[in-house]
Amino acid sequence: MIEFQVNDMTCGHCAGVITKAVKSVDAAAQIDIDVPGKRVRVHAAAPVQEIETAIREAGYTPVRVGASA
């Protein structure tokens, strides 16, 4: 599991854009988004850097806050 703090994610539309970005890297990824808490948790087979890059390319600034195998 990978967790990001995404302080510039402010609404459901943002969450949808981030979900689409992550799914573009790993279509089977499981994503849990907490908009009020500005957290994105991802369970994916793709490398962390690819997921982070996809979120950045979607226009957001993810900061990795935790991960586990």
pLDDT tens digits along 26-61: 999 999 999 999 999 999 999 999 999 999 999 999
CB 40 within 8 A of CB 31: yes
Residue 47, SS3? Answer: coil
Contact 26, 45 (CB under 8 A): yes
Beta strands in the chain (DSSP E): 2-5, 30-34, 39-43, 63-67
What was the pLDDT predicted at 25?
A: 97
CA–CA dist 23, 37 (Å, integer) = 21
Confidence of residue 69 (pLDDT cuts 50, 70, 90): very low
Q: What is the pLDDT of residue 66?
A: 64
The pTM score is: 0.92
Residue 62's pLDDT band (cuts 50, 70, 90): very high
